[in-house]
Structure formats: C-alpha cells, structure tokens
C-alpha cells in the first residue's frame, strides 16, 4: 500500500480564499449581517454550517442558513472563469506522485465547486481520488473529511500526510491522526499554523516543491514505516 498525500484545495492549491471571503460577505449582507471581513476570512476552510456558527454564533436565526449558503454558492460561481492554481501547484502534485505517494484531494468545497477547481488545477493525471463536503455530514474542522479521503484511497492514517493552509485543516487532520504540512498562501500566519501543530510550514506550493527533498513529502517510505 502506497503512502498517501492528502491535499486541501482552496488556499493550498488554488488562490480562492479571498474570493470565498467576498462571496460570504455579500451573501451575509443580503440577510442583514455585516460581520468584519477578517472574521469571515478566518473561518474559510470550514464547511458552510460551521462557518456560520463561527461568524454569526450558535444563537443566530438558523432559518436563514440555507438561504445564505445558497446565495454564497451563486455569488462564488461568478469567479469560476477566473479561478487559478498557485504557481507550482500542479507540478507539486506530480512531483509528490513521482516519489511514490498516492495523491488525494481532500476539500471541504461543494461537489460542484470542486469539479470546477479540478479543471483549473489541471492535474488529473496524478489525482487518485477526491472528496468534498458532499461526502460527509460534519465538515472541517471535524475529522470526517480526512477519514473519508483515507477511505477512498484505501489508506491508513499512519501512512498519510495532509497538506493544508488553515487552522481548520490542521485540526481536522490531527483529529484523524494525520500530520499536517501547512502553506501560508491561504492568509494564515506561520505563528498560528505552527501553534496549531503544523509539522512544516512553507510559503506556498512552489516553495514546498522547491524544498521537497527536505520535506516529509520527500521521503514517502519513512512515513510508510511510521517515522
């Protein structure tokens, strides 16, 4: 069984976190909510239900949740034609695959958004499987999505590494027993990511690719052995 590299997509491989922030802000405003953009950005990476808990609080009128989420989806779809992968993102996946890892996308995006992002990423030749929020009941930071990704790959947590860009990625992976490599391209600070338990922190996908030999991802057989 090959060791498995699980990759978040939004903010890790594609430059989308701020687009999601803007779409959520506009959707919330349609329902009379104007939280600070920074609070919304800090919640990106969660599933929509947990994001609304984090931004508006659990005592909110939950009857609005479906409408807000639908509005966010429609507003975000405006950006589909301009979605772009970070420099080196596709090459990173190919390099990781060439070193013996099974590559799996573990995103909390909706299934339709993930299909669009996969086209923008243009690395289908090395992606073995992918999961989305549609595959689980509890989204990040719950561990369900990471576990679903492992199941699709037929892998064990002890043989896997997760690559993400947010606190929620690290918490989700850690709860599933998978170490997390972090990148700064989603807008989180190195201090916050390391404090959350990131195994490594890199500037972006291109930097991780350039330093692959010094990363855990550069040594798949060491991870396979449980190191």
pLDDT digits (tens, 9 = 90+) for 124-176: 999 999 998 888 888 888 999 999 999 999 999 999 999 999 999 999 999 99
Write out pLDDT tens, residues 88-97.
999 999 999 9
Domain final residue, candidates 81, 103, 130: 81
pLDDT higher than threshold 60 for residue 15: yes
Same domain, 88 and 192: yes
Does the pLDDT at position 226 exceed 70?
A: no
Tell whether 71 and 144 lie within a shared domain.
no
In this structure, the answer to whether residues 133 and 200 fall within a common structural domain is: yes
Q: What is the pLDDT at residue 181? A: 98
182 in the same domain as 97: yes
Domain that holds residue 184: 4-16+84-224
Based on the fold, state whether residues 107 and 163 are members of the same structural domain: yes
Computed over every residue of the chain, the mean pLDDT equals 94
Average confidence (pLDDT) over 1-24: 96
Residues 182 and 73 in one domain: no
Q: Percentage of residues in the chain with pLDDT exceeding 90?
A: 85
The number of folded domains in the chain is 2
Mean pLDDT of 16-24: 98
Domain boundary among 61, 81, 101: 81
The pLDDT tens digits of the residues spanning 162-211 come to 999 999 999 999 999 999 999 999 999 999 999 999 999 999 999 999 99
Whether residues 11 and 41 fall in one domain: no
Query: What CATH number does residue 23 fall under?
Result: 1.10.150
Reduce the secondary structure of the chain to three states and give it as a string: CCCEEEECCECCCECCHHHHHHHHHHHHHHCCCCCCHHHHHHHECECHHHHHHHHHCCCCCHHHHHHHHHHHHHHHHCCHHHCCECCCHHHHHHHHHHCCCEEEEECCCCHHHHHHHHHHHCCCCCEEEEECHHHCCCCCCCCHHHHHHHHHHCCCHHHEEEEECCHHHHHHHHHCCCCEEEECCCCCCHHHHHHHCCCEEECCHHHHHHCHHHCHHHCHHHHHCCC
Q: Are residues 76 and 101 in the same domain?
A: no
Do 66 and 110 lie in one domain? The reply is: no
Residues 62 and 11 in one domain: no
Q: What is the pTM of this model?
A: 0.95
pLDDT band, very low/low/confident/very high, at 225 (cuts 50, 70, 90): low
Q: Using the 3D structure, point to which of 50, 81, 112 is the last residue of a domain.
A: 81
Residues 76 and 172 in one domain: no
């Amino acid at each position: 069984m090959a060791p498995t590299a699980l990759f978040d997509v939004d903010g890790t491989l594609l430059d989308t976190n701020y687009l999601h922030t803007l779409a959520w802000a506009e959707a919330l405003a349609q329902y009379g909510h104007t939280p600070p953009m920074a609070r919304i950005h800090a919640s990106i990476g969660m599933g929509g239900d947990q994001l609304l808990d984090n931004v508006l609080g659990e005592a909110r009128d939950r009857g609005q949740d479906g409408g807000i989420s639908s509005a966010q989806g429609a507003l975000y779809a405006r950006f589909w034609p301009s979605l772009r992968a970070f420099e080196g993102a596709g090459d990173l996946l190919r390099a990781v695959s060439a070193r013996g890892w099974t590559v799996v996308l573990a995103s909390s995006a909706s299934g339709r958004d993930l299909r669009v992002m996969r086209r923008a990423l243009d690395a289908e030749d090395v992606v073995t499987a992918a999961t989305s929020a549609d595959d689980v009941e509890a989204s990040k930071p719950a561990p369900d999505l990471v576990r679903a990704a492992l199941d699709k790959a037929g892998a064990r947590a002890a043989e896997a590494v997760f690559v993400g860009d947010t606190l929620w990625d690290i918490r989700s992976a850690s709860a599933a027993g998978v170490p997390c490599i972090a990148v700064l391209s989603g807008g989180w600070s190195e201090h916050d990511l390391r404090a959350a338990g990131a195994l490594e922190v890199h500037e972006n996908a291109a930097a991780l690719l350039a330093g692959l030999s010094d990363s855990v991802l550069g040594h798949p057989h060491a991870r396979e052995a449980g190191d």
